[in-house]
Structure 1
Amino acid sequence: MQATPDYQSPPAINFNGSAEPLEKALLSTLLDSPELYNGIAEIIEPEDFINDSARQIFAWIVYESKRGRSIDISLAMSHFSQTPRLSSYLIEVGTVFPSQDSIRRHAEELRDLSMRFSMIEMLRESSQKLLHGQLPVDQEIAVLSKSLNQTNVRLNAGGESNQSYKEVGKAWRARLAERAEKGGIPGISTGFRDLDQKTTGYHKENLIIVGGRPSMGKTTFSMNSIEDIAVNQGIPALVFSMEMPKEDLYERTIASIGGIDFENLRLGRLKAGDTEKLRIATEKLDAAPLYIDDQPALSLNQVVARATKAKRDHNIGIILIDYLQLMTVSKHFLANLNEGIGEISRGLKQLARDLKIPIVVLSQLSRELERRPDKRPMNSDLRSSGSIEQDADLILFVYRDEVYNPETEDKGVAEIIIGKQRNGPLGTVRLGFANGQSRFETIDQGGGQPTTLPKVSRTERVKHDKESTSLASHHGQQAAEGTPTVDSSGQELPLDPQQPYPDIPF
């Protein structure tokens, strides 16, 4: 048996020793040919210099260059004449021969050394936190992942970042051909025809904000949209429900999908035709690629980590977050909540771009709008509106006049107000609101009434005829006593509370 040769690890990098010649060469070249700075500005930063004297001199070169001032070794010596340590270092730099042809290579080598050093420090700090259990594992992974992503961005800095219109046009024509072949709208359908016509759907890499005052139905509206996307379009969707437990959210979804009165469902008081609706709705949801995470008060890092994992595991095509102000703000912004919310909205916009999917985020609105005669929301009503409005690609507000005016002519009607659309028009879309069934519906343009858009179709409901017959028999005592199970128009009435309910189909 052959002996395994001893493995000897390579010697550790001497960062100071490796960086010193690169730092002096860079400074010598820039002091001789300052116009070359623009060619390496995206690659190297003052923080990449390990020697403190070199770092300060490079920072001065950057400062002067950005202001268009002259730079040379004499001006540098004059500027730092009161600091012997820096003057001595400049004398050493002056003995190094400038190398204009190698300046980019020198900058890249120094940047790589700096990144190695930073990563070692980052991993050392993380290992200490993991060793002592200072942070949950998923949070620490998120922090490491974010740092590594930033490192990767820096590694690619200085590369070719622009494209000619000819190249952009080639990619656009391919996308146009795909749209023409697919037909319909270019984005993911919202599930509401009229809203799709205004917005062309939810687009990849977009941050969509849905705002509304309490009781307006912003959660119901957004969940109806997600239900359609997952159930009818088959696109995997992830919901972060930080306000409502997953079982409650599921119950509302069953009411919406099945067209079942939510209050009856909540009390377990099913009507004769509801059992088949319930069975079909549960089958639809069982088959739908819809995923729920109901842990409250998640931080941005936690959302990023969980969303990234869900994208990898389930190929998530859209994310809903309910809602923005319930997320945990970074400890750095505890003294300024607006800045903390701004950090979260920027992070969610970046997440949408990284995952290349739309992210829908619900947001509270300021109470100030209650003081206005017209209480329809506007962008300035968004809490921390500056950051949210800037980061959002699409802003939708949910408004129902009957909440403020019980005698309004618009009972059962909701307005979806488009407050911002980066690539489309503003405007308002009217939808029907079936509060009992926890859903919004497209309004029939002919009669101005909500169309019947049962998620469980009429064809599917025909299947329950036999069950309805058996249920009528089951409740024959009610009929004999003169208590019908339907009214004169054929509308099913709730069963007598003293009678047993229909069997639940599972």
Structure 2
Amino acid sequence: MTTLAGTFAGGITVSSDTGCQELSSSTGEEKTVLRALLLSTDAVAEIAVMLDVHDFHHPAHALIYAAVLRIYGDGESPDPLRVATLLESAGTLEAAGGGDYLKSLVARGTGEGWRRAADRLQAHSLLRRTKEAAAHVESLASESGPDDVDRLADIAQAEILAATSRRPRGLAPSHSIGDILEGALDELEAAGSTDGPSGVPTGFTDLDSLTSGLRPGHLTVIAARPSMGTSTLALDFMRSAAIGHGIPAALFTYESGRQELATRILSAECRVPLHHMRAGTMNDDDWVRLARRMPLVAKAPLYIQDEAWPTFTDLRAQCRRLASQRQVKLIVVDNLQMMTYGTRPLGSRYEEISEISRCLKLLATELEVPIVAVSKANRGSEQRTDKKPMLTDLRDSGSLEDNADLVILLHREDAYEKESPRAGEADFIVAKHRNGPTATITVAFQGHYSRFVDMAQT
């Protein structure tokens, strides 16, 4: 028997003893799947979504599957002859078992039962990846000390998540500008054919028009002086997503308990004064409005985490879990100033907030969801005549401005002057917009309902 080493153009390296005896010992699921691929183009379309090349444990089968995908991607039918020709041109036909083995795959059955075989193949692959990840984490743990626990926890979470994910593994490929432009044009066409924003709707017409909603992978920072309504605006974004559009959203809060937040959400959704609910003085009309709206609120995919999560390491683990298990598409963090990065101090507070904001941006990119972070502004605005906040007022770190894709500063004149002619109004000052213009958007603040609304709704 000859020892062969071959590298297929798709990036798979094979080094194994190949021959009929070894190939016959491969798992039946892999053969069933390959047989279906070589007999039916329709099967290729479905299997390509389910399986990655690395899901095949047998190196020869991985080579055959990669060739099938290449031929199918070129718009041709991946029959045994075409697959053999492609493998031969790459110098890997013998490593894949040879032309006779390809013919034998289609000669020994009809390819039926491939869906169950593909499911089992994927399960076997997941088990292998999990074992490999666990072994790597165990090796790192044996070499780590007390000062490395935060780094180790992050690596362990990331590796286990990657191992148990259904997404293909391996190094991220490089993309040609032609392929990128094709996808960009598809997005432009989709944006033009929809009535609403292409991102997660905020619930505010002018803000959505300016930003196209909250974009996947983007970090949005909401900042203001205390009692301006930053937490209220964050809840408004969540209500718009989860209750208004059925988009799963998660809130991490360290300032309010889940019962208090539920009361505020009901007040805003049902238009029942918050002070009536808290004082137990709801009238019949209040109860009727509550009863009408309660079923819709109760079934919304809105998740609240109010347990102790003071470190970013804990937050990141929870976000990964929710994105994987609950398909969460919007994450809100209230607020940054109550967090630390990990169990070990990370230099000055400025450096720590800088690192937290940087990692939030990376997390948004990793999970492909928008993340909204609530932050406090410093006292700089109170020393100015007009009291309006500016980007330089972001507390603790200028990196908040650098890492954010969108910065919304809240301002309410009646918070400083009770008799202001603009009482009941609020300004969303879009002070930074990485992908568009900045602007100031005026909305109505309905504090008795714990919500902001468009001026047209007042």
Aligned with 1:273: secondary structure?
Answer: helix
**Counterpart pick for 2:138 among 109, 123, 129:** 123
**Counterpart pick for 2:365 among 353, 371, 380:** 353
- Show the 5 A alignment for 1:126-145: 126=141, 141-145=153-157
Q: CA deviation at 1:373?
A: 1.4
Q: 8 Å contact 1:342–1:387 — kept in the other structure?
A: yes
Amino acid at match of 2:226: P
Q: 8 Å contact 1:379–1:385 — kept in the other structure?
A: no
Q: 8 Å contact 1:333–1:339 — kept in the other structure?
A: no
Q: 8 Å contact 2:238–2:249 — kept in the other structure?
A: yes
**Counterpart pick for 1:368 among 373, 380, 384:** 380
Residues 250-301 of structure 1, C-alpha deviations (whole Å, 9 max, x = no match): 1111100000010010011102201111112321211100000002343111
Aligned with 2:184: secondary structure?
Answer: helix
Q: 8 Å contact 1:190–1:225 — kept in the other structure?
A: yes
Residue in 2 that maps onto 1:230: 242
Residue in 2 that maps onto 1:186: 198
* 2:403 is the counterpart of 1:391: yes
Amino acid at match of 2:234: S
Residue in 2 that maps onto 1:94: none
- Show the 5 A alignment for 1:317-466: 317-444=329-456, 451-452=457-458
Residue in 2 that maps onto 1:173: 185
Q: Using the aligned pairs only, state the percent identity.
A: 30
Structure with the greater alpha carbon radius of gyration: 1
Residue in 2 that maps onto 1:46: none
Amino acid at match of 1:196: D
* 2:262 is the counterpart of 1:250: yes
Partners of 1:243 and 1:143 lie apart in 2 by: 29
Q: 8 Å contact 1:142–1:302 — kept in the other structure?
A: no
Q: Which runs of 5+ in 1 are unaligned?
A: 1-117, 445-450, 453-506
Q: 8 Å contact 1:297–1:326 — kept in the other structure?
A: no
Aligned with 2:315: secondary structure?
Answer: helix
Residue in 1 that maps onto 2:207: 195
Partners of 1:342 and 1:313 lie apart in 2 by: 29
Q: CA deviation at 1:127?
A: 6.0
Report the TM-score, using the length of structure 2 for normalisation: 0.65
* 2:321 is the counterpart of 1:306: no
Aligned with 1:385: secondary structure?
Answer: coil
Q: 8 Å contact 2:377–2:395 — kept in the other structure?
A: yes
Partners of 2:176 and 2:144 lie apart in 1 by: 47
Q: 8 Å contact 1:300–1:328 — kept in the other structure?
A: yes
* 2:232 is the counterpart of 1:220: yes
Aligned with 2:408: secondary structure?
Answer: strand
Partners of 1:440 and 1:255 lie apart in 2 by: 12
Residues 188-224 of structure 1, C-alpha deviations (whole Å, 9 max, x = no match): 2110111112222111110000001111011111101
Partners of 1:160 and 1:231 lie apart in 2 by: 37
Partners of 2:376 and 2:382 lie apart in 1 by: 13
Report the TM-score, using the length of structure 1 for normalisation: 0.59
Compared CA separation, residues 431 and 340, structure 1 to 2 (3 A): same
Partners of 1:123 and 1:404 lie apart in 2 by: 57
Aligned with 1:190: secondary structure?
Answer: coil
Q: How many residues align?
A: 322
Partners of 1:369 and 1:209 lie apart in 2 by: 17
- Which is worse superposed, 418-427 or 174-183? 174-183
Partners of 1:339 and 1:272 lie apart in 2 by: 53
Amino acid at match of 2:244: N
Q: CA deviation at 1:179?
A: 2.2
Q: Which runs of 5+ in 2 are unaligned?
A: 1-132, 164-168
Q: 8 Å contact 1:188–1:202 — kept in the other structure?
A: yes
Compared CA separation, residues 419 and 258, structure 1 to 2 (3 A): same
